[in-house]
Structures are given as C-alpha cells and as structure tokens.
Amino acid sequence: MEQIQVLIVEDNQEQSEHLSQMLENHGFYIAGIATNFQEAVEMFHYKDFDIIIIDIFLNGRPEGISFAQFVDVHPVKHKPFIFLTSATSRDVFNRAKLTKPFAYLIKPYNELELIYAIENAIEKFYAQEDSFTAEEENAVISHEHLFIKKGKSLKKVRTNEIIFIEVEEKYCNILTEKEKFVILISLVKILELLDAAKFYRTHRNFIINILKIEEIIPKDNLVILEGNHKATLSGKYKDEIINQFRTLK
Amino acid sequence: MYLRLRFILTQLIIYIPVFLFSQEKLISHQLAVQIKNQTRQLSTNTDFQKATTFFLQEEWDSTLIYTGKVLNLHEETTKLSNYCHFYRGFSFFNKELYNNAEHELLKIPDDFDFHINVFSKLGSIALEKSNFEKALSYYKKVEILFNEPNLSIKVNSIKDNIGLCYFHLQKYTLAEPYLIESVQRYEEFKDTLELIGSYGNLANLYYEQYKDDAAIPYFLKAYELAKTTNNSKAKKKTSKNMAIVEENRKDYPKSIKYYKEHMQWKDSVNNQNKIYAVAQAEKKTAVEKKEKEVAVLKADNKVKIAQRNTYLYSAIILLVMFGVSLYLYREKVKRNKIIQQQKEDLDALNNTKDKLFSIVSHDLRSSVHAIKTSNKKLISKLETEKSTEVNNLLQNNSSIVNNAYTLLDNLLNWALLQTKQTHFEITTLGLHTIVEHVAYNYTAILADKEITFKNTVSKDENILADRESLKIILRNVLDNAIKFSNEGDAITIYTKNDDSEFCQLIVEDTGIGMDETTRLALLEDTSLLAKKQHENSIGTGLGMQLCKSMIKKNNGTFSIESELGKGTKIILSLPKK
C-alpha cells in the first residue's frame, strides 16, 4: 500500500506545518506546500499528488479560489481539491462554491474532520459517495488506484499491482505482489469499477488481473498467476479468458 | 325773384303732405266696423284684443306695445300677425315713423282682408317720403279696387293724393282733373277739413304753374274755411300759405299778419311731439324691463351653471384628494410597517450588541484576567522550579483558554447568525460522523475528567441540516454536558426514531442536572444572560440561545429534560433525510 499524496496551498507557515503534521500523523505524504498562486500552479504541473488542500485566502486575497478555478478547468490533470478556510462568510462561500470544490474544511478543524474532508473529496471525485462513511464499504476504486480506508487513515493501491481478488460475501480479499488485505465492497461494484480490460472473472467469486497470468491449464480448470498463486477457472468464464490470448496449438 | 319763389314753393310742398294726412289720420267708421267684425272671431288672445281696442281708440303707443307683445311673446297665426303688422303700420304712420310703418306694412301679404287700406297707407308713406312715383303706383292700385264692395277708404282722399302725386311729378295737366274732382266731392260732402286740404292742393297746383290769379282765391278759400274750424293744424297751414302768398305779392303787412297767425297755431301743434316722446320712453322702459328680466334670467342661469360646475369640480377635487390621501395613507402605513420592521431589527441588533458587550466586558475580561494572574504565578513558580505546580497551573491556564475560546467562538457565531452573514446550506449529513467529529475535540478533556463517552448513533442516520451550525450546536451541548458532569459520570449520544419526519438526537449525561426554574429559563426565548450558578464555569446562556436559534434555523426543535442531581437530557429534533 502507498501513501496518499497531498498538495497543500497555504500561505501561513504555522498553519501549513500544523496541517502537514496532522496529515503525516495519519499516514499521508506531503507532495508539496505552495504559498501563493504562482507556486501552486508550478507544483500542480511538476508534482505527483492525489489531492489538493487549498486555503481560500492567500496573502489576504482569495487567490485560492482562482487556483481552484484553474484546477477545475484543467483538461488533463483533473484532481480533487478541498477548500480550507476560516471564513464562513456567505459571499466567500458563494464564490468558492462556483469552483465546485469536493469538500470544505472550516478552521479550526480536528484530525477527524480533516480525514473526513479528504475521504469525502475522493468519494465525490470518483462519484462513489458514501464509500468511506457508510458501514458497508471502505474503498473507492479508480482505474489506477484503489483507495482504502484503514482505521483513521487512507491508503492507496495501484490496480496494476493486484494479482487477484477473491470475493467472500461483502468482503474482498485482495492479493498484491507484496501484501494481502481485505476491503469491504460488493462484487458487483468492484466489477463495475475496475478496469474491464485488465480484470476478469474466472470463477463466481474470483477476479484476476489478466496481466499477472503465468499459465493457464484448461484441462485442470486452473490459472497459474504471478507468485505461483492458483485460481480456479470455471467453464462459464473459461472461453472468455482463453480468447484473450493467442494460444499455440 | 324767380328763385326766391321757387324756394318758398318748395317749402310749401313740404307742408302740404302733412296737411293732407291729417285728414286721413282718423280711422274711418267703416274700417273700424269691419275690423271689429273681422277680429271678433279671430283670437281670444287678450293682448291682441287689447291691441285691437287701442287701435280702434287710436291709442297708437298702446297699440304698438300690445302688438309687439303679441308678435314677440306668442306664437300667433299668420292672420293674427297680419293684423298686428297692420295695426303697427297704422300706428307708426300716425306717429310719423314712416320707415317703420312701411316695414310693417310690407310684411302683410296681398290676400289680407284690408289690403286696399294697406296699399293706400303705403301710398301715403311714399308720399310722405316724397317718393311720388311709388306713391302713385300704390294709389293706382287702390283706384282699380274702387269698385269693390265694403270700401273702407275715403275715395276722395285717394283721388286727392293721386292728384298730388301728379302735381309733384309736375304733370300738372294730369293732376288738375283729380284735384278739381276732389274739391268738388268735398264741397259736395261738406267735409270741411278735407276741403281745406283740397283747396290748398289746387291752389298750389295753380301757384306752381304761376297761375297766381287762379291760385290765390283757393288759398283764401282754404284760409277762410280753416278759420271756421277748431283744427289748429289746418289754421296753421292755411295762414302760412297766405303769408307766403302775400309776401310774394309784396304785401308785407298782410304777410306779417298771416305769419303771426301761423306762429300762434304752430305752438299748439308742438305739444303733440311731447306725447310721442312720452310714448317712446314708455316703450323704451318696457323693452328695458324685458331686457333686464332676460339679463336677470341669464345671470340666474349663469349662476346656476357656475354653481353646478362648482359642485362638480369640488366633487372631482374631493374625489381626487380622497384618492391621493388614501394612497398616501397606504404608503404611510407601508412605510410605517417598514420602519417598524427596521426598528425591531435594530432593537434586536442592539440587544445582540449589548449582550456581546456585557459578555466581553464581564466574562471574557475575567477569564483573560485569570490567565494574566496565573501566568504571573507561573513565572514565579518557574523561578523556584516547582515543576508539579507549574504543571497544574498550565493545566488550569489551558482550561481557561479553552473556555474563553469557546466563548469567543460562540460570540462570533452569534454575531454572524444575527447579522445573517454566515453561509448556511442545508444538506444531507451523516449524524454519526458529525457527532464523532465534534466529540473528537473533547477526547482529552473527557479522559481528564474520567467521563465515559459513547456515541451510539448509527452510521446510517442521515438528517437534513447545515453542517457548521449543527456542529456549533453539538459543541455547545457537549460542552455543557461535560461542564456539568463530575468525574466518573457518563455522557451518551444516541438517536431515537419515533417520528417519521424527525430524528431525535439525545445527548444524555449523568451529571448534576438542573432545577425546573433553570430549565424553563434556558428554554425561554427571551432569556438574557443567566446568572452564574456554577462557580468555575463560564455560563452566560449565550450558548443555549445560540443553540436554540440555530436549531430553529435548521427547522428543528430543542428541548431539555433534567432532574437535579441525576442528569440532563438535551433532545434535538432534526428533519430526516
């Protein structure tokens, strides 16, 4: 699992330190701290990150809103962002709202509120609301990543690293090259959200990453995956999988 | 000599017609009888009857007045009007207003009963106006009608006048037979007055032709005859003629004698003019009276119209004024309402301001002061390196600062709420998360006070509210619960779903509770700053007021259940999703 990378746009050093401390405490990685609009735009282009936290007022001007507008309309690198503000003034809020932020964080905030805001932003960004907050689930799935809520923290897993997923009622056992973990998500939803070009069902409750296949043994209804993991290949899905490969006969 | 004679003769001629007409002034008996007969059945109009009576009595002025009345005031028949014009023509003629007379008579059509009289009169008028040819034509018309029955004119005088006309037209040969015939006729009838005129005419005829020898005897005859009568006019004329004749014969003493005689008679004639003036004045006054009446009526009418217009205008003005005042009144009421509203708003704001000031001045000041003194102690303790006491003081400071911060926060929120400046947006909220988030800030203090805290709100519990204001409410409620709980007490937050529309969020503590008075005071809407009941806690009632206001704004309700010594239940009802 990897850390979630956060880009912070905040002019007040004390506040940004406080914020990054809090984030690091909860296992987030600080991709960068910008203190004005210019810096923010630069970091936006050169840094790798998953989410941005933007203070509305930078050096006394609502530059945060301008930056949010810039992010909102960026054609390629579209990322979720959160507004951080102490102003609950109606005017500022109404202006901020026009940029369609994914969450607000009102100062003073506590750790829970911060994490919640990040979770909320990710849920909203990937249009999978109530994934973290409800009892039934704890993951948000994008094509590149799996965002998983672990305790009070949030982690991500590259979907490319997943070898197979075994569904067990409401749980999914996920095996990657390095680790094995459980997420709370239904089979239907996970199938719907995962990249259909990579992930295939081999069995009623088995999903494999097609790129991790090492060997298919049709006679035994068996697929040998990377790391010598075995997956059952049921007749229903067999042809579909085999058709993905050019087989030598 | 010749010239002079002509001049005198011209003078003479002017006199002659007057002389002549005096003979025809009287209405002939025949004419009167006929008029009586004709008019009797004509009209019952009293004015007309009077006019007829006056006419027959030869009261010309009265006749004129009454005929005038008939013509002006009544819709008379043509026949009636013909009579009226006839009377008037005669009257005017006799009053020597010849133009008026002619005008009246010309209005009468030819089929009138007495048209022959009309022609004869018109002839006389023309004669009077010395229009002899016109007169002659009228008289010729009359002459043709001589053989009609019931002839009501004097044939003689007509013949006389024809002769006169010829005379004046200097057709002496034509004139002579008529005048001679007339003289003969008058001599025959022994009509003295007419005879005098006829003699005069004949004499003039001859005199004009310079047949003095034939003329003078006739002049004399006329003079002598006039002497025997009582007619002053005749006497005047004949004497004057004689005077002129004698003058021309250069017999001046005789002429003077005749002149004297003439002057004597002339005076008596003058009186008549006065009578006419009186009548004219009478008529004038009558007309004036009528005019006055008309003027009065007109004025009356004017006044009435003016009055009516005045009423109309005043009614319109009143209506307009009424409308305007109604409008103004409504505007005023509206404005008053606005002013009242503004006053209320201002009062509320002023109240808020006062409250803020009292809180700032009292509570905030005292807590800052507490820190100040505490810090002094801290410094002295640090100098003496009493680390446990330093720790205690820091703890104390921290709690004071926390309380002060809460207070400040509430003050700010309160002010924002009152001035409606805060962002407010009702969204769907997970109640569990919100409670968790709020409670997280109190983790340390709960642990410190050894208060058991439990949030048993289900993760599925969703309500509709504004996130920040709900957090403020919960913060205050939880703050109070902790404040009024002792060590070892428990605080539980849970929900109750009895209602289909509202979710009840209950914050229950097992703390010191409150009595009924405090409870009611807290719930009371207008309750101002509550007196502090608990020494070491900043209690202003502001938090509670804020909670109530915000709950209301979130369409929820707020209630308290409490028992002194056993604990308190704060119940927040919020609309479900």
**Using the beta-carbon criterion (under 8 Å), do B422 and A88 form an inter-chain contact?**
yes
Which tens digit of pLDDT belongs to each residue from B244-255? 888 887 878 888
Quickly state the pLDDT bin for B340 (edges 50, 70, 90).
very high
Q: B34, exposed or middle or buried, with CB in 10 Å at 0-12, 13-18, 19+?
A: middle
More confident site: B107 or A115: A115
pLDDT of residue B7: 43
Residue A247 forms part of a structural domain: no
Whether residue B459 and residue A133 make contact (CB cut-off 8 A), yes or no, is yes
Query: Would you say residue A154 lies in a domain?
Result: no
The pLDDT of B468-493, averaged and rounded, is 90
Q: Do A89 and B424 touch (CB under 8 A)?
A: no
CATH number of the domain to which A101 belongs: 3.40.50.2300
CA A77 to each of CA A47, A48, A54, A100, B359: distance values in angstroms, whole numbers, following the listed order: 11, 10, 16, 16, 51
The complex's ipTM works out to 0.80
**A178 in the same domain as A75:** no
Render the burial of B256-271: b for 16+ CB within 10 Å, e for the rest.
Answer: eebbebbeebbeeeee
Interface-testing mutation among B437, B458, B550, with chain A (most A C-beta atoms within 10 A): B437
Chain A nearest-CA distance from B425, in A, is 10
pLDDT at B433: 87
Q: Which two tokens stand for residue B168?
A: 């004046």
**Per-residue pLDDT at B465:** 93
Averaged pLDDT, A208-214: 87
In a domain, A200, yes or no: yes
Q: What is the rounded distance in angstroms from the CA atom of residue A205 to the CA atom of residue A191?
A: 11
- Partners of residue A111 in chain B, C-beta under 8 Å: 440
**What are the chain A neighbours of B424 within 8 Å (beta carbons)?**
90
Residue B6 has pLDDT above 50, yes or no: no
CA distance B332 to chain A (A): 34
> Does any domain span residue A96?
yes
Structure confidence at residue A16 (pLDDT): 92
Which residues of chain B neighbour A92 with C-beta distances below 8 Å?
Answer: 423
Q: Please tell me the predicted confidence (pLDDT) of residue B272.
A: 67
CATH number at residue A224: 2.40.50.1020
Type of residue found at B555: N
- With CA atoms as reference, the chain B residue closest to A137 would be B459
CA distance B449 to chain A (A): 20
Kindly state the average pLDDT of the residues A40-47. Answer: 92
At B300, is the pLDDT very low, low, confident or very high (cuts 50, 70, 90)? very high
Q: What is the pLDDT of residue B326?
A: 95
* Residue A164 near residue A231, CB atoms below 8 Å: yes
CA closest to A114 among chain B residues: B437
Most confident option among B216-220, B328-332, B393-397: B328-332
Q: What residue numbers bound the domain in which A238 lies?
A: 161-242
B459 vs A contacts (CB less than 8 Å):
133-135
Looking at per-residue pLDDT, the higher value among B404 and A36 belongs to: A36
Indicate the residue of B440, B459, B460 with minimum beta-carbon distance to A112: B440
Q: Give the pLDDT confidence of B490-529 residue by residue, as tens digits.
A: 999 999 988 888 999 999 999 888 888 888 888 876 544 4
Report pLDDT for B538: 45
What is the C-alpha separation between B515 and B520, in angstroms, rounded?
9
Alpha-carbon distance B517 to nearest alpha carbon in chain A (angstroms): 35
Does residue B354 surpass a pLDDT of 70? yes
CB contact under 8 A, A134 and B460: yes
Q: Which residue intervals of chain A are DSSP H helices?
A: 13-25, 37-46, 63-73, 90-97, 111-125, 187-193, 235-242
| pLDDT of amino acid B330 | 94
**Chain A neighbors of B436, CB-CB under 8 A:** 112
Q: Which of A88, A113, A135 sits opposite B437 (nearest CB)?
A: A113
Nearest to A88 among B423, B436, B441 (CB): B423
Helix/strand/coil for B204: helix
pLDDT at residue B362 tops 80: no
Give the A-side interface with B, CB within 8 Å. Answer: 88-90, 92-94, 106, 110-113, 116, 133-135
pLDDT tens for residues B404-452?
888 888 878 877 777 777 778 888 888 988 999 899 888 888 898 899 9
Q: How far does the CA of residue B420 sit from the closest CA of chain A (Å)?
A: 9
Quick one: average pLDDT of B332-351? Answer: 90
Amino acid (1-letter code) at residue B208 = E
Contact yes or no for B416 and A88 at CB 8 A: yes
Question: What pLDDT score does B27 carry?
Answer: 63
Asked whether residue A166 falls in the same domain as residue A82, the answer is no
Instruction: Please determine, for residue B191, whether its predicted confidence score (pLDDT) is greater than 80.
Output: no
Residues A117 and A174 in one domain: no
CB contact under 8 A, A110 and B468: no
pLDDT cut 90: percent of chain A above it:
23
Domain boundary pick from A70, A104, A125: A125
CATH of domain B423-575: 3.30.565.10
**Contact yes or no for A88 and B430 at CB 8 A:** no
Best residue in B424, B431, B433 to probe A by mutation, most A CBs within 10 Å?
B433
Q: Tell me which chain A residue has its CA closest to the CA of residue B460.
A: A134
Q: Residue B462: in which H helix or E strand, if any? A: strand B462-466
The tokens for B3 are: 């010239």
Nearest CA in chain A to B420: A90
% of chain A exceeding 70 in pLDDT: 96
Q: What is the pLDDT of residues B9-45, one digit of tens each?
A: 444 444 444 444 434 445 667 777 777 777 776 766 7
Distances (CA, A) of B52 to B57, B73, B85, B179: 8, 17, 12, 34
Q: Is the pLDDT of residue A140 over 80?
A: yes
Task: Quote the mean pLDDT of chain A.
Answer: 86
Assigned domain for A10 exists? yes
Q: Is B131 helix (H, G, I), strand (E, B) or coil?
A: coil
* CA–CA distances in Å: residue A75 to residues A48, A122, A145, B169, B319: 16, 19, 20, 135, 71
Query: Does the beta-carbon distance from B433 to A116 stay under 8 Å?
Result: yes
Most confident residue range from A105-109, B169-173, B464-468 = B464-468
A244 or B461, greater pLDDT? B461
Which among B423, B441, B460 is the nearest to A93, CB-wise? B423
Band of pLDDT at residue B8, cut at 50, 70 and 90: very low
Question: What whole-number percentage of chain B has pLDDT above 90?
Answer: 19
Q: Select from A106, A110, A135 the Cβ nearest to the Cβ of B440.
A: A110
Report pLDDT for B540.
Answer: 59
| Interface probe, candidates A109, A110, A115, chain B, greatest B C-beta count within 10 A | A110
pLDDT of A131 > 70? The answer is yes
Contact B440 A94 (CB under 8 A): no
B534 pLDDT higher than 60: no
* Domain final position from A125, A143, A169: A125
- Nearest-by-CA chain A residue for B432: A133
Confidence category of residue B210, pLDDT binned at 50, 70, 90: confident
Which of B409, B416, B423, B463 to probe the A interface (max A CBs under 10 A)? B423
A120 with A172, same domain: the answer is: no
A183 occurs within a structural domain:
yes
Lowest mean pLDDT of A26-30, B125-129, B478-482, B572-576, name the range: B125-129
Partners of residue A203 on adjacent β-strands: A206
* Residue B10 pLDDT: 42
Examine the pLDDT at A17 and tell me if it is beyond 90: yes
**Alpha carbons within 13 A on the beta-carbon side of B547:** 25
Nearest CB partner across the interface for A90, out of B423, B436, B459: B423
Domain assignment present for residue A139? The answer is no
Sheet holding A229-232, edge to edge: A213-217, A222-225, A229-232
Is there a single domain that holds both residue A120 and residue A165? no
C-alpha distance from A136 to closest chain B C-alpha (Å)? 10
Residues of chain A with C-beta less than 8 angstroms from the C-beta of B460? 134-135
Question: How many domains would you assign to chain A?
Answer: 2
Sheet holding A29-34, edge to edge: A29-34, A5-9, A51-55, A81-85, A103-106
pLDDT of residue B137: 82
Please indicate whether residue A35 or residue B198 has the higher confidence score (pLDDT). Answer: A35
Any domain includes A9: yes
Chain A residues inside the 8 Å CB shell of B468:
88, 106
Q: What is the pLDDT of residues A156-197, one digit of tens each?
A: 998 888 888 888 877 888 888 888 888 888 878 888 888 888
The DSSP H or E segment spanning B227 is: helix B212-228
The band of B336, judged by pLDDT with boundaries at 50, 70 and 90, is very high
Fold topology of B29-153: 1.25.40
Q: For B158-179, what is the mean pLDDT?
A: 79
Inspect the interface and report whether the beta carbons of A89 and B433 lie closer than 8 Å: no
Distance from A99 to chain B by nearest Cα, in Å? 16
Q: How confident is the model at residue B148 (pLDDT cuts 50, 70, 90)?
A: low
* Set of chain B residues whose Cβ sits within 8 Å of the Cβ of A133: 430, 433, 459
More confident residue, A29 or B24: A29
Q: How far is B434 from chain A (nearest CA, A)?
A: 9
Give yes or no for residue B287 having a pLDDT over 60: yes
Q: What is the mean pLDDT of residues B285-293?
A: 92
Please give the pLDDT value at position A43. 93
Report chain B residues whose CB lies below 8 A from the CB of A93: 423, 425
